[in-house]
């Protein structure tokens, strides 16, 4: 059976989904999309896309850790932007969170994100045996 991953170090699920899900074989960990919600307050961090990106990455890292993975285990990332014009400044910070070989990545501009967020990030990690 698949296993739900839950941690209080990331924003809680606000609907019928898990923060993360570990595959039945225990090797594949998929996270829900993370926006810049501070888990201590339940509120979106202020200051725009970069502070939201940093908080979303902290949330993502916490979910991965709760599932037995690290950012180094991530093989695929999807970044949803409210404004793709923010790509260059986020891309510079992204390189501070991931190391080579970098995970595959998609970046998509969307019409809206939860809580009015400027960015949302989800990942898939492959855990070692």
Residue 17 is predicted with a pLDDT of 95
Residue 118 is predicted with a pLDDT of 98
CB 2 within 8 A of CB 23: yes
Superfamily of domain 3-126: RutC-like (3.30.1330.40)
Whether the pLDDT of residue 2 is over 90: the answer is: yes
- In which band, very low, low, confident or very high, does the pLDDT at 96 lie, cut at 50, 70 and 90? very high
- In this predicted model, what pLDDT tens digit does every residue of 97-124 receive, in sequence order? 999 999 999 999 999 999 999 999 999 9
Which of 15, 111, 26, 119 minimizes the C-alpha distance to 77?
119
Which of 47, 41, 100, 103 minimizes the C-alpha distance to 78?
103
Q: What pTM was estimated for this model as a whole?
A: 0.96
Query: How far is Cα 49 from Cα 79, in angstroms, rounded to an integer?
Result: 12
For residue 30, the Cα-to-chain-centroid distance in whole angstroms is 10
Whether the pLDDT of residue 32 is over 80: the answer is: yes
Domain ranges in the chain?
Answer: 3-126
């Amino acid at each position: 059976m698949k296993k739900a991953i839950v941690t209080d170090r990331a924003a809680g699920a606000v609907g019928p989904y898990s923060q993360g899900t570990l595959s039945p074989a225990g090797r594949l960990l998929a996270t829900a999309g993370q926006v810049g919600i501070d888990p201590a307050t339940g509120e979106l961090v202020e200051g725009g896309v970069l502070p939201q990106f940093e908080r979303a990455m902290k949330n993502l890292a916490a979910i991965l850790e709760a599932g037995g993975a690290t950012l180094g285990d991530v093989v695929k990332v999807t970044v949803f932007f409210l404004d793709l014009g923010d790509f260059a400044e986020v891309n510079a910070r992204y390189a501070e969170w991931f190391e080579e070989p970098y995970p595959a990545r998609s970046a998509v501009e969307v019409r809206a994100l939860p809580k009015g967020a400027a960015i949302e990030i989800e990942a898939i990690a492959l855990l070692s045996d």
